[in-house]
Amino acid sequence: MEWMIKGGPMMIPILLCSVAAFAVIAERIMYLRGIKMNTRKFIGEISFALKRNRADEAIEMCDKSPGPLPRVLKAGILKYDRQKGEIKEAIQDAALHEIPRIEKNIGILATLAQICPLLGLLGTVLGMVEIFQKIQERSAALLPSTPSDLAGGIWQALIATAAGLIVAIPSLTAYNYFVNKVNAIIRDMEISATDLVNILSEKKEE
């Protein structure tokens, strides 16, 4: 609280940004843990069921499994008796609904990582303006300004910049981490969807 008070009014929006960043990071970590699965094992089980002409069993496995991948594959399996183009279209439509869920709120972290240093810089600028205003007032009153007065004021002004960076650095790190995770999940979805289309096409030819 002492730092919050000394950092000036810009510490309040920085604090709110830190709360928002923590909430997004916690929510995304919980979401990613909830959809974590062994993709290769799952697609192998789906392939085994389809090769035995048990589409219902494959659909049931998709229903029981969490995450976007089972829902995307289910959309294709439901069209198992259709043409290859229809199967692909069904998978693509399902993916269009799932990808925004995977990317949800990640952009907020990028925004916070950019805004927080600017808020900190603004807080420092406002602090410096206040310092020079006090110097002017003391000069007008013919009172000397000591180096300790300036150092103390500058130290307080720089707290806002430090606070902005403290929030921005973890936010940017978390953003890059989540972007990499999202790209990996989407890549696995694309590979698994291609495998499914090939399996269904082979079964139809047989």
Kindly tell me the number of DSSP H helices and DSSP E strands found in the chain: 8, 0
CB atoms within 10 A of CB 16: 13
What pLDDT is recorded for position 134?
Answer: 72
Tokens of 169: 């650095």
- Domain limits, the chain: 2-205
Residue 29 has pLDDT above 80, yes or no: yes
pLDDT (tens digit, 9 = 90+) per residue, 118-172? 998 888 888 787 777 777 766 666 666 666 666 666 766 788 888 999 999 999 9
Q: Cβ(199)–Cβ(51) under 8 Å?
A: yes
What pLDDT is recorded for position 146?
Answer: 65
